[in-house]
Structure 1
Amino acid sequence: MRRERILEAAEALLLVHGGLPLPLAEVAQAAGVSKALIYAYFPTQPDLANALLVRRFAEMTAAGLEAAAARPDPFDAAQACADLYLEAVAKAGPVVHIILRDPFMAGRIDPAVAAVRDRIARRLARTARLTLRLSPKEAVAAVSLLTTIPEETGRMVHAGDLPLTRGRELNRRLIGSSLRALTPDLG
């Protein structure tokens, strides 16, 4: 229970501060616990950030993210992953993005989280490379760029700037049109 309160407070402050490290005195105050208790659960800032990542990735995995990435139709796989990621960001904010992109976390990402992230990204990039006839670097770039669509749409929903139904619609249309634009002319 207290661990969850700490994670909730840390997540909320991460969204406010937009990066790491988090001021643990603020986390403790927001969670209604002592700073010493935070250190008991999370000895280092990377431990706290990784606990947030593990939590978010567990939710996305439970929602079917890896199964979505494994769908046989590449366009369906990309759309399903984008839909799931939009829902996650709309619910919790861009927590995953903030932590994964923060220079403070370079080389400190939990190996299990990195493995899930890399498995999904590799699967989507490989499919994009083969289906869309992209070079390996272009495929990785395409996956990275396409990820920003549900991320930003979800962020706007989370912030209250966009209703969820409209966010879902925009996400589907933008992912679909982006994939169609990348599709080689086979004629």
Structure 2
Amino acid sequence: MTSSRMSSDARRAHLLDTAERLFVSVAYDDVPMAQIASEAGVTRALVYHYFPTKADLFAAIWARAHETLGTTVDFAQARSVRDGLISALVAYLDFYEKHLGLVLTANRSAIAAAPVVRDPITATFDTLTTTVLDAVGASGEPRRIAETAFAGWIGFIREATVKTLLDRTVTPEQNLAICIDVLDATVGRHIDLDVPAGRG
């Protein structure tokens, strides 16, 4: 139960924690705001004060989860840019497995296309793409082509990973190998990912 002495930040975090527990166990569309308020021990009006819509509430949870993913790849610790990118990929796949309930809402629900849901995903991968292209010193047309290749690769790993986690017919290790193969066949065809880390 919340306390009247709870700070605004603490109360907001409490609402996010409560809603996240519900969203990972019950389908997004089946969780009314009234239930979130009840579980949090507050009124619906208070929930709406912090989050005007349920989509805004989920988006805040989704953005908070992405903060733990870490969008800055430290290529200085990797032998090559490719190795650094694979380390980022491993972290991303681990994130998907640990947050599967949220991932399904963000990719398979009625709000999947909403900007408030897509923006954290876009920001994460825009940062990763820029970091990689800067690290290899890509510019001009090769950079533009590689950016498009990155977008396709990111879409592939998202779909392949969701399918892997739902179907369980392919192991996470096999999915990782597939994603690396596709990386080399798309992005790796247009920029040299094997350059030493930090060259750019």
State the TM bucket, normalised to the shorter chain.
0.5 to 0.7
**Structure 1, residues 31-54: CA drift from partner, whole Å, max 9, x if none?**
845771643542333531331222
After the TM superposition, which segments of 4 or more aligned residues of structure 1 sit over 6 Å from their partners?
none
**Structure 1, residues 96-122: CA drift from partner, whole Å, max 9, x if none?**
9639x9443269947xx8665533232
Instruction: Measure the CA separation in 1 of the matches of 2:153 and 2:129.
Output: 11
Deviation at 1:60, TM superposition (A): 0.6
Query: Which stretch of the first structure deviates more once superposed, 68-77 or 158-167?
Result: 68-77
Deviation at 1:12, TM superposition (A): 5.2
Instruction: Measure the CA separation in 2 of the matches of 1:95 and 1:55.
Output: 16
Aligned positions of 1:104-123 closer than 5 A: 104-105=114-115, 109=119, 117-123=125-131
Q: Tell whether 2:68 aligns with 1:59.
A: yes
Deviation at 1:82, TM superposition (A): 1.9
The AA in structure 2 aligned to 1:9 is L
Preserved CA contact (<8 Å) 2:33 2:47: no
Q: Tell whether 2:171 aligns with 1:163.
A: yes
The AA in structure 2 aligned to 1:7 is E
The AA in structure 1 aligned to 2:162 is R
Instruction: Measure the CA separation in 1 of the matches of 2:68 and 2:162.
Output: 17
Aligned positions of 1:26-175 closer than 5 A: 28=35, 32=39, 36=44, 38-61=47-70, 65-68=71-74, 73-93=80-100, 94=103, 98=107, 102-105=112-115, 109=119, 117-127=125-135, 130=138, 134-136=142-144, 138-161=145-168, 162-175=170-183
Unaligned runs of 5+ in 1: none
**Structure 1, residues 35-90: CA drift from partner, whole Å, max 9, x if none?**
716435423335313312222212211xxx41346768332233222222122122
The AA in structure 2 aligned to 1:122 is T
Instruction: Measure the CA separation in 2 of the matches of 1:27 and 1:12.
Output: 16
Could you state the TM-score of these two structures normalised by the residue count of structure 1? 0.63
Instruction: Measure the CA separation in 2 of the matches of 1:26 and 1:107.
Output: 18
**Structure 1, residues 132-154: CA drift from partner, whole Å, max 9, x if none?**
96142x22211111212432232
Could you state the TM-score of these two structures normalised by the residue count of structure 2? 0.60
- The correspondence for 1:5, drawn from 18, 36, 49, is 18
Which of the pair has more CA radius of gyration? 2
Distance 1:10 1:60, change over 3 A: same
Preserved CA contact (<8 Å) 1:56 1:96: no
Distance 1:127 1:134, change over 3 A: farther
Distance 1:133 1:109, change over 3 A: closer
